[in-house]
C-alpha cells in the first residue's frame, strides 16, 4: 500500500467527507457534505486540497516552509507530495482547515472556477 492509499483510507473514515470521483477524472476524490471536492488523489505520491485562495494567502508563510507543499497562484488548490508518513499528517491538517473554512462560511468560497461537485460512485471497487 502506498502513501496515497494510506491517506485516502485515513481521510475516507472522516464523517465530514464522502468518496466520489473527481471532476477532472481523478479516480479517487473526497468531498464535503455539500458535494464540493475537498481532496483529489493523484498516483501514489500526490494529493490536492481545496483550501481556497483567501485561506492559502493567510497560510502562505507557513505553507512555503514545507517542502511537501506546492502552491498554485491561480487556483484555490495546493498539492501535497506524500513522500513520508508525516506528510499524511500535514495533508490531514490541511483537509481539516479546508473543512472548517467551508463550515464557517456555510458554503465554500468561490474559486475562479468553482470546484465541481463530486461524482459519487456506488461502491464500485474498481474505482477505489
pLDDT digits (tens, 9 = 90+) for 11-29: 999 999 998 877 777 778 8
At the topology level of CATH, where does 3-107 sit? 3.90.1150
Q: To the nearest whole number, what is the mean pLDDT of the chain?
A: 80
The pTM of the full predicted model, rounded to 2 decimals, is 0.79
Radius of gyration of the chain from its Cα atoms, rounded to whole angstroms: 13
Q: Which residue has the higher pLDDT, 38 or 109?
A: 38
For the chain, the domains span 3-107
The pLDDT, as a whole number, for residue 127 is 34
CA atoms within 13 A on the CB side of 29: 23
The pLDDT, as a whole number, for residue 117 is 57
Q: With bands split at pLDDT 50, 70 and 90, how would you rate the model's confidence at 119?
A: low
- Shortest CA distance to 36 belongs to which of 52, 47, 56, 54? 52
Amino acid at each position: 500500500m502506498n502513501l496515497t492509499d494510506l491517506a485516502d483510507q485515513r481521510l475516507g473514515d472522516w464523517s465530514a467527507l464522502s468518496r466520489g470521483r473527481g471532476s477532472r477524472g481523478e479516480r479517487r476524490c473526497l468531498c464535503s457534505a455539500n458535494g464540493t471536492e475537498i481532496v483529489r488523489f493523484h498516483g501514489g505520491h500526490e494529493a490536492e486540497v481545496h483550501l481556497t485562495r483567501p485561506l492559502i494567502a493567510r497560510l502562505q508563510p507557513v505553507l512555503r516552509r514545507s517542502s511537501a507543499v506546492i502552491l498554485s497562484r491561480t487556483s484555490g488548490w495546493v498539492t501535497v507530495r506524500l513522500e513520508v508518513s508525516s506528510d499524511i499528517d500535514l495533508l490531514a491538517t490541511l483537509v481539516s482547515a479546508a473543512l472548517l473554512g467551508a463550515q464557517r462560511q456555510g458554503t465554500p468560497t468561490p474559486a475562479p472556477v468553482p470546484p465541481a461537485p463530486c461524482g459519487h460512485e456506488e461502491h464500485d471497487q474498481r474505482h477505489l
